[in-house]
Structure 1
């Protein structure tokens, strides 16, 4: 389906699916942080990619989608996969030091990384004065929230977790740019996702072994539930739903709704983990949302 045949307006079904995805993505950070009491961050991220990757492969096989034919996408796929692995290493390790509420706000700096990098890939996509204003608002918002990690941190090394959240956002944006700037831009969505999950599974599990992280001896029902939610519901089902939305609806219309993800993350952190939400963080989220609207308008 090309851009001309995509629906320009979101119907009720699309809105419902999109809001459900954003809710799941917001809760995902909470599930990851809660599971850290029973499994190390690198094993958690790596095994999640293993399970989700196998599910994507089975899904594609059942639908007759060819994933392993030569199409010149190997280089871009390996790069996207390594960036994806580094992103989730930063997120899962960072959650040991900062709250899930703060992490979900910092990683949504990613759209601005894409906006800054896109002119280098697509030379016709230059930033307007309004978009530059949006970038400045967003960076000011992140700096405002980041400063709280030094002035009144909730944990001793909160600033380190916040910094890893910002790094994850840069890596997420880099993954998007790697996909747009390589043969992956014309590959099937399932193949693009499998590259990211497959490469990250190998890289993250190898990093866990190198770091000496122990695998959990006993998988409690709680851990199985938290891990299953991340691997099956988020990394497999919600990502495939998102790719379906991108194929059928205008991306600019979808982008605005993703602003609800940090809000869902804040609420989930407060309700499920009892995390405090400061006025500074709420103000930073509002400014971040305003910046995204300016950049994507």
Structure 2
């Protein structure tokens, strides 16, 4: 049976589902930072991948989706999984030093790195003058926001906030690397569930091993608060929202979906302010606006 063509317009169901995903992604950094008071960053990231990976496997088994057939995607899957693991290690470690609202803004440097790298992966995808202008605007916005971290040297008791900002930028680069690895290898033709399981499975092993080597202590008691924060990340974000996103990109035009993802940093800023009491500076808001404008120019 041939696949159904993607719909060029978003219907009410797609808009509602997409906005829900953006809200979850925006709140995710807040949940991670809040849980750091009870569980270390590497164990939190690794165990989250363990739970989400098992859920993806169960989902695929229930729907009869074959995940373990040989299709030449192993090399790309291992690469994507390791990049995915490094990305989340940077995010979870970085949130010890910087605010959740700042982290979510730095993460959205990733689309521009993908735009820069894509011509090397797909020769037909080149950048026009307007897109180069969007890239320049986006990089300038991130640099503008990053510089604020030097004037606020103690964003967290562990160290200066620019350390966390730098890890956020590194996470964005790794996220872009994961996207390019998927696009440039045999993984691009694999089913979405297999692609996601590669990332979750490899990152679960790598992050849990890193936590053990770093002698990061596991929590001796899982409070209802920790279970709620961890469950939100593993079940709602890493499992449900990612599968929903894959469903959306299989059924709707990617360019239409991309515009709505601009709301994710906004939701992250609001969640950080409302749930964690983080201060949002005018400089950070200005950087977010410039970042969004850059994404629009690149998408056009």
Fold similarity call, TM over 0.5: yes
Runs of 4+ in 1 over 3 A off after TM superposition: 1-4
In the aligned structure 1, how far is the partner of 2:185 from the partner of 2:124?
Answer: 17
| Residue in structure 2 matched with residue 181 of structure 1 by the alignment | 184
Per the alignment, residue 37 of structure 2 pairs with 37
Give the corresponding residue for 2:142. Answer: 142
Q: Does 1:211 align with 2:238?
A: no
1:152 aligns with 2:155: no
Q: Secondary structure at the match of 1:39?
A: coil
Map 1:156-175 onto structure 2 (within 5 A): 156-175=159-178
In the other structure, the counterpart of 2:279 is 276
Distance 1:153 1:124 in 2: 44
Alignment of 1:22-61 (within 5 A): 22-61=22-61
Separation (CA, whole Å) in 1 of partners of 2:71 and 2:212: 33
1:81-135 Cα shifts (integer Å, max 9, x gaps): 0000000000000000000000000001000010000000001111111110000
Counterpart contact for 2:146–2:162, Cα < 8 Å: yes
The answer to whether the 8 A contact 1:41-1:92 is kept is yes
How far is the alpha carbon of 1:153 from its aligned partner? 4.0
The alignment of Structure 1 onto Structure 2 pairs a total of residues equal to 297
1:152 is displaced (CA, Å) by 3.0
Per-residue displacement from partner, 1:248-286 (whole Å, max 9, x unpaired)? 000010000000000000000000000000000000000
Q: Distance in 2 between matches of 1:55 and 1:162?
A: 32
> How many Å apart are 1:295 and its aligned residue?
0.4
Report if aligned partners of 1:3, 1:250 keep a CA contact under 8 Å in 2: no
**Cα distance, 1:2 vs structure 2:** 7.7
The residue correspondences of 1:60-209 to structure 2 (distance < 5 A) are: 60-153=60-153, 155=155, 156-209=159-212
Unaligned runs of 5+ in 1: none
Give distance in 2, aligned partners of 1:212 and 1:54: 25
**1:3 Cα deviation (Å)?**
8.6
Match of residue 228 from structure 1 = 231
Structure 1 residue 4, shift from structure 2 partner: 7.5
Match of 2:293 among 283, 290, 293: 290
Deviation, 1:239, is 0.3
Kindly indicate whether residue 8 of structure 2 is the aligned counterpart of residue 8 of structure 1: yes
For residue 151 of structure 1, report the CA deviation from its aligned partner: 1.7
**TM-score under structure 2 length normalisation:** 0.98
SS of the counterpart of 2:108? helix
How far apart, in 1, do the equivalents of 2:60 and 2:154 lie?
44
Q: Distance in 2 between matches of 1:252 and 1:288?
A: 17
| Runs of 5+ unmatched residues, structure 2 | none
